[in-house]
Amino acid sequence: MRILDIFAKCHESSLVDEVRERGIYPYFHALESRQDTEVIMEGKRRIMLGSNNYLGLTAHPAVVEAGIEAIRTYGSGCSGSRFLNGTLKLHLELEAELARFLRKEAVVTFSTGFQSNLGIISAIVGRGDYIIMDRENHASLYDGCRLSLGKMLRYKHGDMTDLEQKLRAVPENVGSLIVTDGVFSMSGDIANLPEICRLARAYGARVMVDDAHGLGVIGEGGRGTASYFGLEDEVDIYMGTFSKSLASLGGYMAASERVVDYVRHASRPFIFSASITPASCATALAALRILAEHPELPETLQARARYMREKLRGAQIRIRESNGEQIPIIPIYTYQAIPTLTIAKELYDRGVYVNSSLPPATAPTECLLRTSLMATHTEALIDEAVDVIAQVLRAHRIGE
């Protein structure tokens, strides 16, 4: 009897092998400095245009000191789940302050943002329930749907007519949850929450927003997408991360007290995972307090995003347009995979770090360089980076 070696797939030729051979492999570059607007990466200074450190707080002295003090007080880890021995006073403080900031009754924290979506959706969506998803939602939302026992329906990105058709297809007397990114991580689009909430009311669905890229970016004082539209009372569940604007690691769910308490006791990814480390918890809390005390930070970030868009357009660089001019995610069209990776490597060699976006994250002929900004980027740094990007793109005849 012949049995196929399960490792056979690991030895098949792939795009990864090809780009390594070409010397344009874009992943796992090693940082040798703090995550900041300028970094040392593999021995050379690079302008960082590939980080989600939107408010630039990873290097803030108060955030760094909070992490150091937490390790002194609590040690390096909790060695258990929140459900048992892994709850610190710090966790409770973070959850309470974040709930107040987001104007929700309660918050529960998870060890990562990805785990948050797994834990929320798998707990809330049961057998026979329906999840209605935007096609461009983050991978963690898709995996949360797979982990649940519900049926997933996908609607075309931002297409409210298609969303309504999917809602009409949901059988009567079953639960349904509309799930969307607030700010889409690849395009920088802002979800049409007013229409999503209207349709949810009309069809008896609940609404969950993944606001990983919305917190600290839009809304009153950086409170996110629901706040941006004045719909804080109509979005049932917010999910977010600490690894972006809050300069740490972890994730959260914000909702009513009853829903949060249910998830605490029903979510397997929450119950069976170790809790956020003391340092991660303390740094997220310090960053949250800075955001709460400095509502001008998101405004500065938005101004930088508008400035860079103007500079790119002025240089005749084709960007993927979105409905959010103030969003710090700015994708630049490079079209094909190999040219995209080649351009990214040349930019890297010339001191500008950007992220390459390839299929399946994009259509095969719509590959992108995904750039992202921090509130701490200066206009001079943006000017320098855009000049390099324009020179490299012109050399490759991109945009002509």
Mean pLDDT, the chain, rounded, equals 96
**364 pLDDT more than 90:** no
User: For residue 3, what are the CA distances in angstroms to 6, 7, 68, 89?
Assistant: 9, 11, 53, 53
Q: Could you say which of 91, 104, 244, 311 is catalytic?
A: 244
Token pair of 20, please? 């390594």
More confident residue, 364 or 256: 256
The tens digit of pLDDT for each residue in 144-194 reads 999 999 999 999 999 999 999 999 999 999 999 999 999 999 999 999 999
Active site residue 166: no
Which candidate, 242, 233, 237, places its Cα nearest to that of 263? Answer: 237
State mean pLDDT over 202-226.
98
Which candidate, 69, 8, 39, 100, places its Cα nearest to that of 289? Answer: 100
> Within 10 Å of residue 382's Cβ, how many Cβ atoms?
22
Q: Could you say which of 138, 166, 213, 377 is catalytic?
A: 213
**360: cis peptide before it, omega within 30°?**
yes
Q: Could you say which of 116, 185, 187, 267 is catalytic?
A: 185
Distance of CA 99 to the CA centre of its chain: 20
- 128 backbone dihedrals φ, ψ, rounded to 5°: 90, -15
Cβ pair 267, 117 in contact under 8 A: no
Q: Is 19 exposed, middle or buried (0-12, 13-18, 19+ CB in 10 A)?
A: buried
User: For residue 212, what are the CA distances in angstroms to 50, 165, 215, 222?
Assistant: 16, 27, 6, 12
The b/e string for 80-104 (b: 16+ C-beta within 10 A; e otherwise) is ebbeeebbbebbeebbebbbebbeb
**400 pLDDT more than 70:** no
| Rounded distance between C-alpha atoms, residue 343 and residue 24, angstroms | 9
Q: Quickly list DSSP for 166-194.
A: HHHTSPTTS-EEEEEESB-TTT-PBP-HH
Active site residue 213: yes
| Rounded distance between C-alpha atoms, residue 330 and residue 185, angstroms | 10
Which candidate, 172, 114, 174, 180, places its Cα nearest to that of 149? Answer: 174
Cβ pair 294, 98 in contact under 8 A: no
Q: How confident is the model at residue 20 (pLDDT cuts 50, 70, 90)?
A: very high
User: For residue 87, what are the CA distances in angstroms to 78, 191, 271?
Assistant: 8, 34, 12
Q: Are strands 176-181 and 151-155 parallel, antiparallel or unpaired?
A: unpaired
**282 pLDDT more than 90:** yes
Domains, the chain, ordered by start: 11-48+295-395 (3.90.1150.10), 61-293 (3.40.640.10)
More confident residue, 258 or 364: 258
- 68 backbone dihedrals φ, ψ, rounded to 5°: -65, -45
The tens digit of pLDDT for each residue in 221-248 reads 999 999 999 999 999 999 999 999 999 9
pLDDT at 15: 87
Distance of CA 33 to the CA centre of its chain: 23
Q: How confident is the model at residue 362 (pLDDT cuts 50, 70, 90)?
A: confident
pLDDT at 34: 95
pLDDT at 38: 98
pLDDT at 202: 97
Active site residue 185: yes
| Rounded distance between C-alpha atoms, residue 183 and residue 166, angstroms | 22
| Rounded distance between C-alpha atoms, residue 7 and residue 207, angstroms | 41
**53 pLDDT more than 80:** yes
H-helix or E-strand containing 207? Answer: strand 206-210
State mean pLDDT over 306-317.
96
Name the percent of the chain lying above pLDDT 70. 100
| Rounded distance between C-alpha atoms, residue 20 and residue 140, angstroms | 27
State mean pLDDT over 351-362.
92
| Rounded distance between C-alpha atoms, residue 24 and residue 328, angstroms | 26
The tens digit of pLDDT for each residue in 105-114 reads 999 999 999 9
The tens digit of pLDDT for each residue in 104-142 reads 999 999 999 999 999 999 999 999 999 999 999 999 999
pTM of the model: 0.95
